[in-house]
Each structure stands twice: as structure tokens, then as C-alpha cells.
Structure 1
Amino acid sequence: MSRKFNRIVRLSEVDIPSFSNVDGLDAIQVESISDNTNTSENSIAVYIKGPLPSNKENLQLLTSTIVPGYCCIIVDNPRVAMNEFIAFIALKVGFTQDYTDSILPSSVKIGKNVVIEHNVEIGEGTIIEHNVVIHSGTRIGRNCLIRTHSSIGGGGYNYIKDNQYLVKQIDLGGVWLGDNVEIGSNTCVVRGLVDDTVIMNNVKVDNLVHIAHDCFIDEDAYIIAKSELSGYVKIGKRTRIAPGSCIKQRLTIGDDVIVGLGSIVLKNVSSGCTVFGSPARKIN
């Protein structure tokens, strides 16, 4: 998945500090920004470490060193450069809109003091209770229940270091909720950095839960009160996360897993396992 611009951009026109000493930009054109785990053609992505993108077709990597076999744009701080690049595109070019703003279906019920931003889609039969905020880039499916004081699609707690200062990282992604999803009161579902945070059909999320950017929760999973999923966590089908549990970033929890009460999960969990404790250990 990628975030497309309103038009193709030649990098020589991108007037940002990180590109001031980079040569050869006039020959490079891109039309989107990608996450480096899910790249597309004619796109630009940040690469720091870890697995390399499998799709190299006209892909430009913002890196601090040359990566053999890839087209690289060498900058001092790739994350800072991407932040500057996103800000430039947003101001001068714009990004395409995922959802067409339209009148909500008559079967959607909206409580008092609800904020629904532009670029939002809400399916038939969904109920939005009082004081909910639904941010731009959010898709909510049919027959969902969004409980009081929840926030769907807000920005995450993502910071990058620029010299001695911390700089807020710009979020481009959105939130995608399937059908028959419940989001509890005072729960936050954070938008993805580039791709969407995804919650599939029939997932039930309790009160006071935090779901960070780019998480993926598969069908029929249960996320119970005061649990926290860090960025890029994947939760399998029918998995149950008990109250007060925390899951480290970029972990995968398989299908039919039980994560016990108050567990701190620091490693991937295979399907069918029950884990418990701090750190969480297999108990079946």
C-alpha cells in the first residue's frame, strides 16, 4: 500500500533542507510514499535496518548509506528527510483522498458532540455514541458500535530525533474497521504511519485500550480492558488478550492464542498457545 500524490513529483522541485546537498534529483520522479515493508512502484520509502523491500520496481530508498541493488537517496537522517518530504507534498501537491465525503446512511446513529472529519466512510447500521472523535482517513464498516469518548484515527506517539530535538513524525495512514466491530469507551485506535491500522470483522475491543499505529487485528479477536498493543503488532484470529496486557512493537501473536491477565509479551507467540506473566511464558 502507498499514499499517492495528486500528481507525479520530480524530486528536484522538492525544496527541503535534507535534499540541499543531494545530486541527481532531477532524474527521479515519484508518485507515492510507501512503508518499506509494503512498497509499490514509483514510490519513495525510508530504510533504516531489517528486511529489505521485496518490490524494487522504480523504488527510491531514503537511506544514510548505500544499499546494494537498490536506488538510494543518501541523506544524513532518513526519517527527518521523509518528515520534511511529507510536509512539502502536503503543502504544495496534496495527497489523494481515500474516501468520498458523502451523506451518512440513514441507518447510522450518531450521539451528541460527535466529531466526524472529512475523508471518512461509515457503513450501514453503525452506532456512534456520544463524544466520539473520528479522524480523517477512517473507514468504519457495517453494524459497528463505537462507544463513548473513543478516538478513531488520531495521530500516534511517534517522534524522531533531529539533532538534539524530538520532532513529531507525520502520520499518513488511516484506520480500517471491518463489519460488526466494537470499540469500547475511552479507547484509542491510532492511524498508521503510511499504511492503515486494520481491525477485521467481528473484533471486540473493550474500554481503555490503546491500539498503536499499523497494528493488524484479525477476525473474532478480543482485546480486553487496559491492554496496549504497540506499533505494527499483529493479532491472529479468535485470539484473546486479557486485561492489562502489553505487547511489544512488531510482534506477531498467532490464531487462537490466550494472553493471560497483565502479561508483558516480548516475543512472538505461536498459534494455539496460552501465555502468561512478565515476561509472558507459555503455560500450555
Structure 2
Amino acid sequence: MTHTVAEIAETLGLEAVGDTSIVVEGVAEPADCPPDRLAMAMKPEYAEGLSQGQARAAMLWDGADWQAMGLDAAILAPRPRYALSALSAAMDPGQGYPSGIHPMAYVDPSATLGPGVSVGPFAVIGANVEIGAGSVVGPQVHVGWDTRIGPDALLHAGVKIGARVSIGARFIGHHGAVIGSDGFSFVTPEPSGVEKARASLGDQGEAKGQPWARIHSLGGVTIGDDVEVGVNTAIDRGTVRDTRIGNGTKIDNLVQVGHNTVVGEHTLLCGQVGIAGSVSIGSFVVLAGQVGVSDNVRIGDNVICGGATVVLSSIPAGRVMLGYPAMKMESHIEGYKNLRRLPRLIRQVEELRKAVSKAGESR
């Protein structure tokens, strides 16, 4: 694919300056950029690498002195990283999945595939499945009984979708994602040590081993439009009601979403987030990497939890949290600063103790 600088700028709705007829075949980092690529020099520190490469044109920030950088052309963006979203979509060559239904795929006769759906080798599409127009089902994908998937979905190789799952339009499932697995729900004949410890905040009483009885997952999973689920992520089905993921939510790799959990719209769940069962998460929430959320917790809209935060209780809307257990970020940072001051404080106390002791001896 080739594009002129002018064509790229017009597609992005941005200003192009200099020789906008320059043709580029893709993008590159500034220091490694050949003449036929657009350099992604989106910050002044990135632009320092232009002198090491051969770029003739670059994506720059608004007001950048592109001529002083030795460029022949530039695209100026008020928010370059946001512009990169549309630019990367225009430059993406895709995954190369072929069209049509591969002869080594199995599609149940009762399944309904919309126009333009492609199905890769060794994929299995179960009974009463509906897949919307223009969707891509990659190799070794499994779509379970009575599942509905909206138009323009992209299921990469190895995605597994269980029975009775409902997914909206423009869904992206990355390699190995599992949606609609059974929830991790087990119960003992009598109150378990875990239940006793939770009620008493630490004492499980007389230890008594008991077998675990399985609670079957009768609910499904409902996912809205424009949702993306990362590599090897698991979203469990509900026990009675569905686990729900709202429109526009993006879920990273290696994330666990427990049964009955409800996630709002346009929320980000980053890598290795673990969410227990029956959690309610609002819209526009960000859970950074390795955040853990205990069961039956409520997290309000626009909450941000920093990396490795452990959420043990509900969080009101708009809070920024950090630490284990989760607390307001400013409180956590202040506590950490005080912790680092402890060795110095101990030395000062020891010096004062010695000074007081000597003063007492001199009397």
C-alpha cells in the first residue's frame, strides 16, 4: 500500500506541510526510518532520532519546526498519539485470513452465517449459531451452541466461545481467548474454613476438611459492541444471570473476569488483571496491570487503579487508587515516603536517646 503525505493528512483530518506529494509505503521509528516511510516523531524526544534515519516526511506535534529537522514534508497533529490510532488502521495490512469457508472447517447445518463470513481450517461452528456479515473466524476457532456474534467480528486463531454467548458488532478476540467458560463456583455441605475466616477476619475455627460440590453455570456471557479481548483471557459465564461486558470495553492479555461480573462501557482492563465473581465495575474505569479485585466489590465510574492494586472493598466514582489494600493514591504515596524515612527516624531517635542518657548521667 502506498499513500501520499497529502492523502494521509486528508484521511486523518490534519494539516500537511511541505512537499505533500511524497509517497510513503508505511511508518517507521525516526532512527530507523528509510526514505519511503513516514517517521513517527510524535514528541520532541522522538524527533531527536530523525538525524539518524533517512526520513523525508514525519508525523509531528502541532507547531513543530519540521524544516529545522531536515524534513521535506510533515503532518502536524494537535494530539499525535490519537492520530496514530486512525493512521495505524489505514496502514494495517491485516492478518491474511482467506475468504470463504475452508473445506476442513465444520459448520453445523443449523448455523447461520451472514454474507462475507470467512471460516478458517479446523474451525468448528456449533448448532444454532449466528455470525454476522463480514466476520472472520480464524483457524481452530470454536463457537458453541446457540451463540450470537454481530457483524464484522474478528476471531483470531484458537479463540474458544462457549454456548449461549451473545456478542455485539465489531468484536475482536485475540489468539486463545476463552469466552463463556464455567465460573469457578464450589460449595461445601457445611460452612467452610474460608467462610469462617472471612466472617471472623482470620479465624477459621476448628479445621475440618470437606469435599467441594460444583455449582453449574446456567447463565451466559453478554458482550456489547466494539469490545476487544486479549490473548489467553478468560471471561466466565454467569451462575444464573449473564456476565456482562459493556460497549467499547477493551480487555488486555491474560485477564480473568469471574462469573456474574458486570463491566461498564469503555473500560480498560490491562494485562493480568484478576476479577473475582459478582463484581460490578463502572464505565470509563482503568484497572492497570496485575490489579486484583475481590468478589462482590463495586467500583464506580471513572475510577483508576494503579498497577498491582488490590481492591478489597468498594470504590466510589472518580477515585484514583493504589496499593494493597487499595487506598487513595496520594495517601499510599505519602505512606510509602514515610516508610522510606523510617531508618533515618530510627537513627535520630537513637541519637536523642543517647543524648538524654548522657544528660542524665552528668547530673
Amino acid across the alignment from 2:163: S
Q: 1:244 aligns with which of 266, 286, 290?
A: 290
Distance 1:272 1:104 in 2: 38
Spell out the pairing of 1:1-150 with structure 2 (5 A cutoff): 101-150=128-177
Query: Which of 255, 259, 265 matches 1:209?
Result: 255
Match of 2:205 in 1: none
User: In structure 2, what is the equivalent of residue 151 of structure 1?
Assistant: 178
Cα 1:106/1:266, change in 2 over 3 Å: same
Structure 1's consecutive aligned runs of 4 or more residues displaced over 6 angstroms after TM superposition are none
- Residue 162 (structure 1) aligned with residue 208 (structure 2): no
TM-score w.r.t. length of structure 2: 0.50
| Counterpart secondary structure, 2:307 | coil
Matched-pair contact (CA < 8 Å) for 2:154–2:170? yes
Identity %: 30
Q: Which amino acid in structure 2 is aligned with residue 137 of structure 1?
A: R
Taking the aligned partners of 2:129 and 2:157, their CA distance within structure 1 comes to 21
Structure 1: 5+ residue stretches without partners:
1-99
Q: What corresponds to 2:280 in structure 1?
A: 234
**Comparing both structures, which one devotes a greater share of its residues to strand?**
1
CA contact (8 A) 2:130 2:149 kept: no
Residue 213 of structure 2: SS of its match in structure 1?
strand
Q: SS of the residue aligned with 2:235?
A: strand
Measure the CA separation in 2 of the matches of 1:124 and 1:155.
26
Native 8 Å contact 2:150 2:168 kept in 1: yes
Aligned counterpart in structure 2 of residue 218 of structure 1, from 257, 264, 280: 264
Out of 257, 265, 273, the residue aligned to residue 303 of structure 2 is 257
Q: Bigger relative contact order, structure 1 or 2, given CA contacts below 8 A and separation 6+?
A: 1
TM-score by length of 1: 0.63
Shift of 1:187: 0.1
- What's the CA shift for 1:103? 4.7
- Work out the number of aligned pairs and report it: 185
Deviations 1:179-222 (A, max 9, x none): 00000000000000000000010000000000000001100100
Distance 2:244 2:155 in 1: 19
2:222 alignment partner AA: W
Aligned to 1:162, the other structure's residue is in SS state coil
RMSD, matched Cα: 1.3
Q: Which consecutive unaligned segments of at least 5 residues does structure 2 have?
A: 1-126, 191-209, 331-363
Name the structure with the higher helix share. Answer: 2
Equivalent-residue separation in structure 2 for 1:211 and 1:162 (angstroms): 27
